Each structure stands twice: as C-alpha cells, then as structure tokens.
Chain A
Amino acid sequence: MSERIKHWPGKRLSSKELTGGKVTTTSTDPKVKYAWACGEAISRFLEELKNGKLIGRKCNSCNQILFPPRMFCEDCFTPTNEWVYVKDTGTIETYSISYLDTDARRIKDPIYVGVLSVDGASEKQGIMHYFGEVTPKTIKIGMKVKAVWKPKKDREGAITDIKYWRPLRRGEK
C-alpha cells in the first residue's frame, strides 16, 4: 500500500560513485559474432542493388507488390509468386532530422532519415533511408524523391549502394 509503505527499497548511485571505485563492479566484454543468412528474397534484392535496380515480389492472391521482397505474403500467409522491378522513385512517408549518431553521440551535421514508399510497389511498401539535398525547411511528408546511387564500381550489394534520396526534379520521372 502506497501510503502505508514507509520504505521504498533501492540505493541510488551517482555515475561518479559507480566509476570512481566506490562501488565494486565486474565487467565482461562478450564476444558475440553473427553471420546472417539473408534468405532468397533479400539475397536477390541485394544482388539487384548492384545493378542499380530495386526489386519486389508480387502476391497473386492479394495482388500486392511487396517491397522489400519477401518469399511469403504475411497477409495471405501464402508464398509470393513473381519478381517485379519497382522504380527508384518514391514518396516520403515520414522523416526525422537526427542530431545523434548511432551511439547517441551528438553530431554537427544532422542526418535526414525517414521512411519512403517506393513507386511501383503497393501502398505502404517501403524502406528506411537517408534523404539529401534538403533542409529542415524544405523536407516535407508527401514529398516525391529519387534515389542517388553510388557509382557502379563502388556498389557492394548493400542497402547503402543508394547514397540517399533527393527531391524529384520538375519534369523528372
């Protein structure tokens, strides 16, 4: 009982107490290494990135084009049926402007990152990626964007073969 409880257990430590040798600690640095199998769908997707192309999978049962590709449709719970190339243009679904890097360290030049849905795939089929050639003022949800690829010789079959997505220019498809 919140009121009747007189003592709430726990001894609070400051960061100084913890690192300053006042409290006994022990540490481990685990050796954890993985080699992920990419599976059939994503392996092909990564291969196609080297060619500067984006590929999805079509489910003939619900007619959705899934991107990134998957070998099964989670809505129908049946195998997907065919490979379909999609465009390297899309729409910004949402974005963030990040002032933190991956280890929560502060960075000077912010990262524009977001989710985009890709043209040629079904609604809400998309990936997370970087955006470029934008400012906090110009970037908008709903903005049309196009992939900026690395030069062919630098591509390695990774999501980073696309450098970033920039605003689609007038008249461009």
Chain B
Amino acid sequence: MQIMSGAVDTVAVESHSKISDLLTYSDVLAFALDPIYNRPIGGHPHYLAGMEMRRFLRDSKCTEKDCARVVVKNRTNALKNVSSAYGTKLTTDDVKRSPEVFSPLRQLDISNLVDGSIVMVLASAKKAKEICDNPVWITGIGWNSDTPWIENRDWGRAEYAESATQMAYKMAGIKHPSSDIDFAEIDDKFSYKELEHIQAAKLCRKGEAGKRLRKGTFDSEGRLPVNVSGGSLGCGNLVEAAGLHRAMEVALQLRGHAGRHQIRKVVKRGLALSWRSIPTATGGAVVMEVGR
C-alpha cells in the first residue's frame, strides 16, 4: 500500500523470529487469550487447535490420517530446502504413534519453533522495470480478521482465510482458483490447518481436501503443489514471520530460484496464505505472478 499510494518507490519488508530467546512460549501464548473469559482456564493454549481440529475433521470429511499425510508430505519436501530445519523421512504411522497432546492433535501434527529472518524487496512497476530483469508481480492482496471471541467462531472452517483469499482473487481477477493457480504456500502451523486453508482458498471443492491430498494433487509433482518448501511443519515455525516466509517461497518458485525444491513444471501464478496462529482468526493472502 505504501507503494500503491505513490508515497515511495521501493520498500524492504523484514520479518523475523528469535523465538529461542523466549523460554516461556506457552505462557506468552496464554497471554494472548481474553484475560477475563479464557485465560483463567489455564493449560497450554494449543488445546484450541485440538478443539478446532476435531470440529474441522467432522465437518470436512478429512481424517486424522490425512493430517498425518500433510506432515509426511511437508517434512519430506523440506529435505530439499536448504533453509529448512525439520526435513525428515516419516510415515503416517510415525505420526500416528507420536503422543496425543491435545487430542486429536498429536505431537507430530504441530510445527516446531525456529529462528530466522525473511526479507523481500518490493518496488513500483516503473522502478522494478528499471532495476530488475525478472520481477515477480503482486497481483492481488487480501487480509481479514474474524471475531476475537473464540466462542463465536465457526470452528469447522477458516472464515478469515476465505475472506482474505476472496479479496486477493478479486484484485487479481481470478475466478477459478483451483485451476487458475499453479501452486501455493499455505499456513500449516498445525497439520489440519493446511487442509482447512486449502478449502478456504477454494483450491479444491468443498469437502475434497482430503481426497485431493490422497490423490497426490498437492504433492511437489502434483497438479497444484502445496508447501513444496516444506511449510512450517518442515522448515520450522517462524511464528509471526511465517507469513512472509510463505510469500518469499512463492517468489522464489516464480523466479526459478528455489534450487533443489524448484517445482519441475513451469509455474506462473502462486498463492501465499498466512494465519497468525493461536488464538487468532486473522490471515492474509497474496497472489504473485510472472510473465505478465
């Protein structure tokens, strides 16, 4: 917006996590809960993810095993990403055997925290053409927040992500996201969130996220690769910087700079979708393209 307003020509966007300096992550997370209604309940706030996962699985026809498949896919993908911290070979049985922490959420369904910094440089169209040979164009942006009251949300779907992606699609002129978008980097701080966000972004028909996943649509070789980078499950959770991480990975792919995890097929349009994590219902979306 700073550039679109005409106020400036170039902007460096930085976002980082130095979460290892914080020794009491869950306590800080609990500090984000409503001080009167929710905080006194106590416990690790990840229980909210467990609650949401259960409702999502019921409403979406996805299964716990589908969530495990997301974990396996993303951590395998991360093996090819040089900046990832948690790439490994796993099976769905490994996920199933990991302890239930906030049922149905298991230990391996949760992304691990990580330190890191992301920078992207944005420029106006005029400036970009002057200084860059292969710029990636931001063609749509959107962001949205659902109610802060966790009691009032629709637990079975990510409404904020629906609104944010709709805003971005409208701006980018995208009518059929599942065919118009070549690949996506989507918030997966918890495994089920990837599936929930895929549905919210309309990258598949309603209730088909699990089915598409099983068919391999979202694999790195699939029709619509999701989190080829490894996502937060594979690279590590950069907390508030995870959103810019998703966006950066989209830009890398579009420029052909992703190295060993570059998608084989030619990609021209990607979506990045972020979520602010527990306990928020806030997310952002950006559509980027090349060759326009």
Please say whether the chains A and B touch (CB closer than 8 A).
yes
Q: What CA separation (Å) do A65 and B23 show in the bound complex?
A: 35
- Does B22 sit at the interface, judged by CB under 8 A? yes
Q: Does A37 contact B20, Cβ atoms closer than 8 Å?
A: yes
* A residues with CB within 8 A of B: 26, 28, 30-37
Q: What CA separation (Å) do A35 and B24 show in the bound complex?
A: 10
Which residues of the partner chain B approach A34 to less than 8 Å between Cβ atoms?
21-23
26 residue pairs of the A-B complex, CB under 8 angstroms, read: A26-B35, A26-B36, A26-B40, A28-B31, A28-B35, A28-B39, A30-B27, A30-B28, A30-B31, A31-B24, A31-B27, A32-B22, A32-B24, A32-B27, A32-B28, A32-B31, A33-B22, A33-B23, A33-B24, A34-B21, A34-B22, A34-B23, A35-B20, A35-B21, A37-B18, A37-B20
**Chain A residue at minimal CB-CB distance from B26:** A31
Main SS of the interface on chain A?
loop
Q: Does B27 contact A37, Cβ atoms closer than 8 Å?
A: no
Pair count A-B, CB < 8 A? 29
Q: Which residues in window 8-26 of B have CB below 8 A to A?
A: 18, 20-24
Q: Which residues in window 28-78 of B have CB below 8 A to A?
A: 28, 31, 35-36, 39-40
Find A35's partner among B23, B39, B40 (CB 8 Å cutoff): B23
Other A-B contacts than A28-B31, A34-B23, A36-B21, 7 sampled, CB-CB below 8 A, are A26-B40, A28-B35, A30-B31, A31-B27, A34-B21, A34-B22, A35-B23
The total of chain B residues at the interface (CB under 8 A) is 13
**Chain A residue at minimal CB-CB distance from B20:** A37
Q: What CA separation (Å) do A35 and B39 show in the bound complex?
A: 25
Find A37's partner among B21, B28, B31, B36 (CB 8 Å cutoff): B21
Give 4 nearest A-B pairs by CB, closest first.
A33-B23, A31-B27, A33-B24, A31-B24
Which residues of the partner chain A approach B31 to less than 8 Å between Cβ atoms?
28, 30, 32
Q: What CA separation (Å) do A26 and B39 show in the bound complex?
A: 10
Q: What CA separation (Å) do A37 and B36 show in the bound complex?
A: 34
Which residues of the partner chain A approach B21 to less than 8 Å between Cβ atoms?
34-37
**Chain B residue at minimal CB-CB distance from A33:** B23
Which residues of the partner chain A approach B39 to less than 8 Å between Cβ atoms?
28
Which residues of the partner chain B approach A31 to less than 8 Å between Cβ atoms?
24, 27
